[in-house]
Amino acid sequence: MQNLRKRVPTVLTADEILDKAFRRVGKIDKEGPVHMDMVKRKSMARIASATDVISSTLQRYVKAFPSINERDVFLAEMIEVTVGVDRLKKALSNLDWAASKVKELQKQYTSKVMSSSSVQGADSARKAFYGRASSVVNKVSKDLEFLAYARNEFRKVPDFDEGMLTMVIAGFPNVGKSQFLREVSSAQPKVAAYPFTTQGIEVGIHERGWRRYQIIDTPGLLDRELEDRNRIEMQAVTALKHLANAILFILDPSETCGYHLEGQLRLLEAVRELFPGVPILVVENKMDLLDSGSDRLKMSAVSGEGVPQIMSALLTSIEHLEGPEPMF
């Protein structure tokens, strides 16, 4: 995830790049012994400078965007969900093409300038270069626009700490997910933007001794039944699965959340299918309102009763993933 937020510079539009390239060349002056020689030198220097501005700008973008490595499934998936892997690859390779095309034009038009026999000839070769280079940059203007958009989307991806073990909370709306998160977080949970939903996700940090855990509440993603979720949200859920070391599924048997327990249990099955291999702890909330008599762990997120036991059970399910205690 860190890679996605990797600092990508502001992506200029085609017009802005050309402005920059040709504004700067106006300033270059080269002295020469005779008039003809001076004009040629000036023209070549201008062509070289414009080429440098264009190709280095384009290549900087190509390098700045995360390279999509087949082995990094998570990164690839996040890119797919945000802007599309194929579109990103295409845009970057088009920029690469444009950068080398401009360099090729530089060679071609520099030799035209050299071999020209009049001031006018040298000048018109330089102008012809400007025209061709501009049209190359204009050809990738859509790609530049797309990359500016992609950069924006990447910046919205929350900055999760991948080094921290992560628990994801699931369950229907109003079952008490946020309440639980507040109860177990050492500070007020932070709201982070998530590119696939209009609602922010809440991230809390749970501290136990020297260890810290990340707990995430994902409104709009794991709180509805499958058939109601659109494709983008489904992909978001898929991306979440790389992050989750364990899932806490909260049921509300009092049904004061407004959903029947049956529907809640169907969502539980859907979540199980979405997160194969991830341990899921199923608990009941609002025990202050109703004791279902089941043998699931129970709590009241408002009073705090049962919360420490649930937190302990959750941590036990991921303890095999913990590194050793540091030795002091």
Ligand X SMILES: Nc1nc2c(ncn2[C@@H]2O[C@H](COP(=O)(O)OP(=O)(O)O)[C@@H](O)[C@H]2O)c(=O)[nH]1
Choose among 219, 211, 206: nearest CA to 250: 219
Give the binding range for Mg ion (CB under 5 A) out of 67-75, 169-177, 224-232, 315-323.
Answer: 169-177
Burial 94-119 (b: 16+ CB within 10 A, else e): bbbebbebbeebbeebbebbeebeee
Residues in contact with 78: Cβ distance below 8 Å, sequence separation at least 6, in sequence order: 1, 4, 157, 239
- Residue 216 beta carbon to ligand X: minimum distance, rounded to whole angstroms: 12
Residue 133 backbone phi and psi in degrees, to 5: -65, -40
Which of the choices Mg ion, ligand X, none does residue 289 contact, using the CB cut-off of 5 to 8 A by kind? Answer: ligand X
Q: Which one of residues 43, 185, 285, 317 is an interface residue with ligand X (CB under 6 A)? A: 285
**Of residues 55, 110, 300, 317, which one binds ligand X by CB under 6 A?**
300
Residue 178 in the binding site for Mg ion (CB under 5 A): yes
Judged by CB under 6 A, the chain residues 151 through 180 that form the site for ligand X are 171, 173-179
| Residue number with CB closer to ligand X (170 or 278) | 170
Q: CB atoms < 10 A from the CB of 152, how many? A: 14
**311-214-325 Cα angle (round to 5):** 75
Gap between the Cα atoms of 91 and 6, Å rounded: 18
Nearest to 86 by CA among 94, 16, 96: 94
Nearer to Mg ion, 56 or 199 (CB): 199
Find tokens 């997910």 and name the residue.
177
289 sits near ligand X (criterion: CB under 6 A): yes
Distance CA 215, CA 304 (A): 17
Q: How far is the CB of 307 from ligand X (least distance, A)?
A: 9
CA angle in degrees (0–180, nearest 5) for 62-67-72: 170
Pick the binder of ligand X from 52, 145, 153, 288 (CB under 6 A). 288
114 versus 289: smaller Cβ distance to ligand X: 289
Q: Which is nearer to ligand X, 39 or 307 (CB)?
A: 307
Interface mask (CB under 5 A) for Mg ion, residues 119-158, using x and -?
A: ----------------------------------------
Binding site for ligand X (CB under 6 A): 171, 173-179, 285-286, 288-289, 300-302
Binding site for Mg ion (CB under 5 A): 177-178
